[in-house]
A = this chain, B = another copy of it.
């Protein structure tokens, strides 16, 4: 029982006996069973013997799991695993310490009888009209999109057709769940096209694949923003997603009597603006953390005579050649915008209100992501699916410990770089508890810059920095800082971030429902911006919420890719009327 195969055999027997204490006894006392949908029909990490026993008592027999397998070599203490349940097929990962499990990860990957139409299951493409009227493939697609304007209700309505909306749309499409996406922009990808010129993805291409359609081998390591926008537009076409563009969600309310939503949409078409009320059973918020601009209210704002705008309305530095521009904020967008201003011959001043976590692109790409998401990983046989599963297999408590160790080492190896930044007057941190960017992202999605070149400009002074200061007020030709100093500027760009998903709920549904749902994102780590209690999974994302039929989709490209499958399977099971009662501890 000292290897993966032996443990799985013992686990299979214990599950079959339904003896929850025997099951828990297979784990270390401080072990983890992270289950994503396969057993618990939600995303949850069960930590320690008591929690595992409780989970097992509720689910061991009911799930009907069997067929536990692993390709791990004999004697291996960890490896990928696969299994079946009564309803579906699962995969996961197991890590042993001695003969006990430190971590077991179980995830549902498909439902029996509802396998995706891939490979040998793909459609023929010929004689596509099921009713034999000779409608072409394109006409049938158009019919479907138009049907929702003619009174048909989608089973699922997705608000937002950025990368997250498109990912869940594609997953649902592959599972034949009727789904409509709506997006406020006229063209898919406009969220990206409308940003500042120098924007690229800050994660490398191997980490950023969308589901089903990987980037080809010539795709740049860091996708320029217009290329991202175009790719998303192509993606919607390739995946045949019904999307209403130029459509804003005005309001949404759940109708408990009919167990469905009343969603009012305002859609602009060539024929003018029209309101539609749709009644989907499920509503997915895929509006992102970058959905609406968070503009600070600064005293005497009206006095400033120059250009004042939010980063999301800033197309690039071309117009400011020779001008002095203040950038408020010191995270990703602030740095990108400042660097672009330098390139365009402007003189940027960055106002850093609190410390920032800085990660060099090379650190991210060549150290942190390299084992799983890199050309080397691909060339040595690592697939995106396995890489994603490996990441998901690590409980967040262990991720924290690993991240802390990584950053303890990086603070030493990268010390000269960080010292230069400090010397330039820039305030550095490594996360409140030293866990750095990965946890930072999962906690608050803010407070960091992935350095793609701006740090050198800070170090050599091309980007001036005023750090640790608040903004007192605006004046005619600039602003006054909290130390009384006057910064002159022709323009002020507020790289002050975006509203949260919970704020979206408050706006579109109601503040009461937003309260009922609680915070979306963060996992209860207890740091600023992510208060406890400890949750162990990202709050409210990709899983049932406190409001029936309300779901949240989001994350970066990698999280959206992986978790969209889990969300889609939960919805498909409901669509097919399968028993899917989520486990509640």
Q: Which residues of A contact B (CB under 8 A)?
A: 116-120, 122-128, 132-139, 174, 197-198, 200-201, 205, 212-214, 216-227, 230-231, 234, 237-239, 316-318, 340, 343-344, 375-376, 378-379, 452-453
Contact = CB atoms under 8 A, between A and B. Distances in A.
B122 A220 contact: yes
Given A119-B379, A222-B124, A222-B126, A343 B174 contact: no
Given A212-B216, A216-B212, A375 B224 contact: no
B200 A126 contact: yes
Contacts of A239: 218
A117 B123 CA distance: 34
Contacts of A223: 125
Given A122-B221, A224-B136, A316-B136, A453 B238 contact: no
A200 B378 CA distance: 34
B125 A220 contact: yes
A134 B344 CA distance: 6
B238 A234 contact: yes
B197 A136 contact: yes
B139 A197 contact: yes
26 contacts: A119-B217, A120-B376, A120-B379, A122-B217, A122-B220, A122-B375, A124-B220, A125-B205, A125-B222, A125-B224, A126-B200, A126-B222, A126-B452, A126-B453, A127-B452, A133-B343, A134-B198, A134-B316, A136-B224, A136-B225, A136-B226, A137-B226, A139-B197, A213-B216, A216-B238, A230-B237
Oligomeric state, in number of copies?
2
Nearest to A340: B134
Contacts of A118: 217-218
B218 A343 contact: no
Contacts of A200: 125-126
A227 to B, nearest CB: 6
Given A234-B234, A234-B238, A218 B138 contact: no
Nearest to A136: B197
B379 A220 contact: no
A230 B201 CA distance: 26
A339 to B, nearest CB: 9
Nearest to A375: B120
Contacts of A340: 134
Given A119-B379, A132-B343, A452-B126, A138 B224 contact: yes
A237 B238 contact: no
Contacts of A198: 134, 136
A205 B124 CA distance: 10
Contact of A221 (B125, B136, B317): B125
Given A116-B218, A134-B340, A217-B119, A128 B234 contact: no
B234 A122 contact: no
A123 B125 CA distance: 36
A149 to B, nearest CB: 21
A579 to B, nearest CB: 28
Nearest to A220: B125
Contacts of A197: 134-136, 139
A317 B220 CA distance: 45
A318 B218 contact: no
A237 B216 CA distance: 12
A137 B227 contact: yes
Nearest to A142: B226
A212 B218 contact: yes
Nearest to A237: B230
A194 to B, nearest CB: 12
Among A135, A220, A340, the most chain B Cβ lie within 10 Å of the Cβ of A220
A127 to B, nearest CB: 7
Contacts of A378: 119
Contacts of A231: 238
A225 B138 CA distance: 9
B317 A134 contact: yes
Nearest to A202: B126
B123 A221 contact: yes
Among A116, A124, A453, the most chain B Cβ lie within 10 Å of the Cβ of A124
A95 to B, nearest CB: 30
Given A118-B218, A134-B343, 6 more contacts: A120-B376, A122-B217, A133-B344, A136-B226, A137-B226, A138-B226
A116 B219 CA distance: 12
A52 to B, nearest CB: 36
Nearest to A128: B224
A343 B225 CA distance: 46
Among A133, A218, A452, the most chain B Cβ lie within 10 Å of the Cβ of A218
A184 to B, nearest CB: 22
